[in-house]
Structure 1
Amino acid sequence: DVNGRIFGCHGPHIFEYHMVLSPGVELEDGATWTASQIGERLADISSLPKAEAAKSESSGELSVEDQCNQVFATMPDLFMPERAGDWSSTIHFDLTGTGSWTVKVDAGKCTTSKGKPDNADCNIVYQSADILLGAVTGKINSQQAFMAGQISADNMGDLMKFAQCFDMKKAAALAKKKAAAEGGGAPSVEDQCGEVFNRMPSLFMPERAGDWASVLHFNITGTGSWAVNVAGGECTTSKGKPDNANCTITYKSADILLGAVTGKVNSQQAFMQGDIAADNMGDLMKFAQCFDMKRAAAEAKKEAGGGETAAAPVEGMNPAALGAIYRGPAEFVYPADCEGYANATNDHNPAYLNDDDRLAPIMLPVRPFIKVIGDAVTDKDLNADLLRLVHGEQDMIFHDVIKPWDLVAPRAMLYEIEDKSSGQLLKVKQTLMRDGDVVCETYSGFFVRGQKKPGEKKEAKAPQAPVQRDYSFNSSFRMDDDQPLRYAEYSLDKNPIHVDEKTAKAAGHPGVICHGLCTMAMTGRELINHLADGNPARLKRLKVRFTKIVLPGDELTTRAWLVEENNGVATYGVETLNQNGDLVIGNALAEIATA
């Protein structure tokens, strides 16, 4: 049964390879591809149009067959008789795996019908319906698809005449317009948003509001504004922008709001991506706490014909989600990303920049990890409140160095949930695989702050007295003014508090703050330079706790002291302080090979 089939194994994970032809990429100058060019453009070369089609189907849009029906229904409107002359033909469109359609041109007119004609003058075969739909939307170049064998015809004259006489660039817009016209009473986007806000009072949970009072302005870009007023344990809503808003919550589009209500969009993830913004983080968090949007999603699903009404909201993270595994695609370690990450952390180690036997920066694994760890913490089954989540700890174990052009695959697993007096600690384990072996093993600790009870006040911690130690080194450096923007670009961590001044201030910060992992990378840089003779391969482990935010322009100092030395590995205590003497990285340790 498996003869001639190709399977792959990455440790315990097995999968099968399937041959699928991508649309591909063509060099503009007609030159021959080199290995390095293929590596740099691999994502474009291997991109498949089917991913978009699958995404559309999963989002509840029309089926592929119905979309194709719309395309052929618009064909007469796309026909340009002035170009046809006396051309007459019956063309059979065979969309592999979906169906057949007939396009008939005669006497300057065009008609279409579903099904295969008996007397076709030309048969045009599409490898899949996705190729046709991609061509219609402009995502696929029809000529390139023909050259790649994804479109074929048995009558080149009629194929060329069809391309000449039908304006396919207009097809997508016309299909959408026709669908809207035939939809009749389907509510407009504005009406759908209006219904969401009409439901808000029924989703309000006054027992969670306490004495909270606020006027919220919801700005739905491109659609309109709504006001939500909370006072005295009651909620009212109205259309329009309020005059005295305490908080403005901006959605990038109505699709984000409607997707959040139906459960198709994760609101917390949308906020992290900048699709939702607010100028008062306190009110945004209170809104998330006091309005049961999960019930709104369940009610929307029930009205659509599926599912039961949601149960009461669950408090805290769900231990049943532990053990869930999230896999990212295998991807090359590109030289440009290695160099960019090194520059983003002000690390000019020759090992990262020399052309001969170059290494990737030791903390570059955080880049491929970003997607899988995002999938883990935003998993609906986990039920983590991202608005109360902070990255508190990072423990990275380096089993081997990675190099440019290594093919690596990231994995993540929900590892542990620990209850604390003031919240919960979530640990996510990540592994970076290369050729079936783990090259980097990482444990990220995320603290989810518990919700304060009415009148509860946080006890101020007494400042820690400095401890005098016999330091192995003491080294200072500065965070550049644009450090967060540069690090976001090459780490792929574009959390708005690191890149958007307004969002950062709304969260209670004086401005954008530096990534904790950037501070960790710079701390690791100092350890390698001072304790490992500049050799990144000697750093075997770096474990830190992020104890205070770091701002652009801060002057930091890293220092370390020897704790013990066993079996060729020296263990150092590590700390990084700011210009005020406050610890920004504490309870840290580093393991460095002695040779």
Structure 2
Amino acid sequence: MPVPSSLVGCRSEKATTEVTPRWSMAYAAALDDSTPCYFDTRVKVSFVAHPMFPVCFEWPVIVGMRDQMERAGLKLSEAMRGVHASHDLVIHRAIHPPERLTTIAEIVSAERRSPGAFLVTRLDTVDESSAPVCSSWYGSLYRGVDLSGPDCSLSAAPALPSSKTSPPSRSTSVVHVSAGLAHVYTECAQIFNPIHTDASVAEAAGLPAIILHGTATLALAVSRIVASEAGGDPRRVARVAGQFRAMVPMPSDIAVRIDARDRSGDGEAIFFDVLNDRAAPAISNGAIVLR
């Protein structure tokens, strides 16, 4: 069955999450990021979660939307063809565990692309005082699945800054991806998708082997860029965006390549990509905006 564009406008139930220090510390540890502000609970004002931590409490909301998609006619086998194709996270403020946060999602666009139907889900998270914490635009590509109805869009993410600097790149750092990283990341992030940890499920999905989560690859890049470009202060990160492309096998080495750094509004924008072990772009059009 095709994905119906009438799904645009569908909203999830509100989901409330307890973000504990144990959970946020485990997430940073999975990334082998030992920045003190992720672990030193003695200094409450500076103890924060990793900038990519919102993917942890957003994932169950994304999964919960699948029931609506199935009721609209999308088969489970077709849903399994969905891949996380793009991610754009706006961070209104850093997360200071322990916190109680509430997230709601809405499918905001659907369009035809040559590989399949492309849906974007917007997720908004607020704290107990209803103040905004973060907003994400989560792009899903359903490979080989058509879209029924016209292309439709309710809203889009704010325009990203563009680089005014030409290559060559500013710097490149190599990051080793261990054989068990997907399993560690799954448990520490509490993001379970068996294509990343179960070889039989990965094979059934047409993959050569289990692969690293796109959000894990992006988080590894964010860690390196915070260390090298933000003075080790993740509270400066206001936005993280990128498009997921080539697979990252395990074990392997990836290269985080910083292409440019330019002024952007009240801060600066870091433009980057991530190459896998075959020099193919695992993440392209990456951007991090710093306060």
Fold conserved between structures, TM > 0.5:
yes
Q: CA deviation at 1:470?
A: 3.5
1:400 lines up with 2:98 in the alignment? no
Percent identity reads: 23
Aligned to 1:469, the other structure's residue is in SS state coil
Q: Report which of the two structures shows the higher radius of gyration computed on alpha carbons.
A: 1
CA distance in 1, matches of 2:72, 2:40: 44
Q: CA deviation at 1:363?
A: 1.2
CA distance in 2, matches of 1:507, 1:567: 42
Normalised by the length of structure 1, the TM-score is 0.43
Q: Aligned-pair RMSD on alpha carbons?
A: 1.8
Q: Would you say the 8 A contact 1:513–1:551 is kept in 2?
A: yes
1:409 lines up with 2:107 in the alignment? no
> What does 1:146-545 correspond to in 2, within 5 Å?
315-355=1-41, 356-357=43-44, 358-379=47-68, 380-384=70-74, 385-434=78-127, 435-450=129-144, 469-545=167-243
Which amino acid letter does the alignment assign opposite residue 388 of structure 1?
R
CA distance in 2, matches of 1:503, 1:317: 23
Change (3 A) 1:534 1:563: closer
CA distance in 1, matches of 2:95, 2:177: 26
Residue by residue over 1:70-114, the C-alpha shift from the partner in whole angstroms, topping out at 9 and shown as x without a partner, is xxxxxxxxxxxxxxxxxxxxxxxxxxxxxxxxxxxxxxxxxxxxx
CA distance in 2, matches of 1:520, 1:382: 32
Residue by residue over 1:39-58, the C-alpha shift from the partner in whole angstroms, topping out at 9 and shown as x without a partner, is xxxxxxxxxxxxxxxxxxxx
Residue by residue over 1:221-255, the C-alpha shift from the partner in whole angstroms, topping out at 9 and shown as x without a partner, is xxxxxxxxxxxxxxxxxxxxxxxxxxxxxxxxxxx
CA distance in 2, matches of 1:397, 1:430: 10
Q: CA deviation at 1:527?
A: 1.2
State the aligned residue count.
264
Q: CA deviation at 1:436?
A: 0.4
CA distance in 2, matches of 1:451, 1:441: 27
**Per residue, is there more helix in 1 or in 2?**
1
Consecutive unaligned residues of structure 2, counting only runs of 5 or more, are 147-165
Q: Which residue of 1 aligns with 2:156?
A: none
Q: Would you say the 8 A contact 1:532–1:592 is kept in 2?
A: yes
Q: Would you say the 8 A contact 2:117–2:143 is kept in 1?
A: yes
CA distance in 2, matches of 1:565, 1:382: 45
CA distance in 1, matches of 2:37, 2:13: 30
CA distance in 2, matches of 1:491, 1:537: 20
Q: Would you say the 8 A contact 1:372–1:411 is kept in 2?
A: yes
Residue by residue over 1:443-468, the C-alpha shift from the partner in whole angstroms, topping out at 9 and shown as x without a partner, is 0100112259xxxxxxxxxxxxxxx8
Which amino acid letter does the alignment assign opposite residue 331 of structure 1?
T
Residue by residue over 1:424-458, the C-alpha shift from the partner in whole angstroms, topping out at 9 and shown as x without a partner, is 11000001111201211000100112259xxxxxx
CA distance in 1, matches of 2:138, 2:39: 28
Which amino acid letter does the alignment assign opposite residue 54 of structure 2?
P
CA distance in 2, matches of 1:328, 1:345: 29
Which amino acid letter does the alignment assign opposite residue 440 of structure 1?
C
Q: Would you say the 8 A contact 2:125–2:135 is kept in 1?
A: yes
- Which of 581, 584, 592 is the equivalent residue of 2:282? 584
Q: Which residue of 2 aligns with 1:164?
A: none
Consecutive unaligned residues of structure 1, counting only runs of 5 or more, are 1-314, 453-467
Q: Which residue of 2 aligns with 1:151?
A: none
Q: Would you say the 8 A contact 2:17–2:102 is kept in 1?
A: yes
CA distance in 2, matches of 1:393, 1:429: 12
Q: Which residue of 2 aligns with 1:569?
A: 267
**Per residue, is there more strand in 1 or in 2?**
2
Point out which structure has higher relative CO (alpha carbons under 8 A, 6+ apart). Answer: 2
